[in-house]
């Protein structure tokens, strides 16, 4: 499966108004804490890959994931970007029953934590896409439009995501193709 994503920096207040006008459906509001790992056998920054453990919980439960009994943990691998026009890449993700055990396994195999990205996210659906309003610690506010597809549909999915941004009054040409991790490591706040 491939994730096709486009994102821009944007003020959430104006986007929320446009989402309401477009009759977008609000899905949820969560906090995500992503710990990214460096591999002992290759440099993910050079290969444009990522390995992360994500903890996610309901934003209304507060700042501590341990306060929400419904906190989930996932292990995700993201392959290199497939095209220059979007953040489209192969992605594999699976739920993990015990986040501490997953971190212990990665540590035991020589993977080391590289950085943690924390974001407040509000998810909507619009025109078959997930629209996410992100407030990223140390970076500010962003809006993403994304979907999953097969490799045959990447261009059409990307064009649809760009159209969603345009529908929300955002400039698709202002797209940010660097990951939040990359932006943080580069100091692009």
For the chain, percent of residues with pLDDT exceeding 70 = 99
Domain count, the chain: 1
**Tokens representing residue 151 in the block:** 């490799």
**Which structural domain range is residue 106 located in?**
2-186
78 CB-contact burial (10 Å; exposed 0-12 / middle 13-18 / buried 19+): buried
**Tokens representing residue 22 in the block:** 């477009």
User: Average pLDDT for residues 61-73, to the nearest whole number?
Assistant: 80
- 81-91 pLDDT, tens digit per residue, is 888 888 888 99
Q: CB neighbours of 172 closer than 8 A, spacing ≥ 6?
A: 6, 8, 162, 165, 166
pLDDT band at 5 (very low <50, low <70, confident <90, very high): very high
- 97-136 pLDDT, tens digit per residue, is 999 999 999 999 999 999 999 999 999 999 999 999 999 9
Confidence (pLDDT) at 69? 80
pLDDT at 36 > cutoff 90:
yes
Average pLDDT across the chain, whole number: 92
Distance, in Å, from the CA atom of 130 to the CA atom of 25, rounded to the nearest integer, reads 10
Distance, in Å, from the CA atom of 35 to the CA atom of 53, rounded to the nearest integer, reads 5
Confidence (pLDDT) at 67? 74
- CATH number of the domain bearing residue 126: 2.40.320.10
Distance, in Å, from the CA atom of 30 to the CA atom of 132, rounded to the nearest integer, reads 11
Distance, in Å, from the CA atom of 90 to the CA atom of 101, rounded to the nearest integer, reads 25
Considering only CA atoms, give the Rg of the chain.
Answer: 17
Distance, in Å, from the CA atom of 20 to the CA atom of 129, rounded to the nearest integer, reads 15
Confidence (pLDDT) at 189? 61
């Amino acid at each position: 499966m491939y994730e096709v994503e486009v994102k821009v920096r944007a003020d959430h207040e104006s986007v929320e108004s446009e989402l309401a006008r477009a009759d977008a459906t609000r899905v949820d509001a969560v906090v995500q804490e992503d710990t990214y790992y460096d591999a002992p056998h290759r440099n993910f920054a050079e290969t444009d890959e990522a390995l992360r453990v994500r903890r996610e919980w309901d934003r209304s439960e507060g700042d501590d994931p341990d306060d929400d009994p419904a906190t989930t943990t996932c292990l995700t691998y993201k392959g290199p970007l497939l095209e220059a026009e979007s953040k489209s890449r192969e992605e594999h993700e699976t739920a993990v029953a015990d986040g501490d055990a997953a971190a212990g396994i990665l540590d035991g195999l020589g993977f080391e934590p590289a950085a943690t990205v924390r974001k407040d996210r509000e998810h909507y659906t619009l025109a078959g896409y997930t629209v996410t309003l992100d407030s990223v610690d140390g970076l500010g506010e962003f809006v993403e439009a994304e979907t999953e597809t097969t490799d045959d549909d990447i261009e059409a999915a990307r064009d649809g995501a760009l159209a969603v941004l345009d529908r929300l009054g955002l400039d698709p040409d202002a797209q940010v193709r660097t990951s939040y991790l990359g932006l943080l490591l580069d100091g692009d706040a």
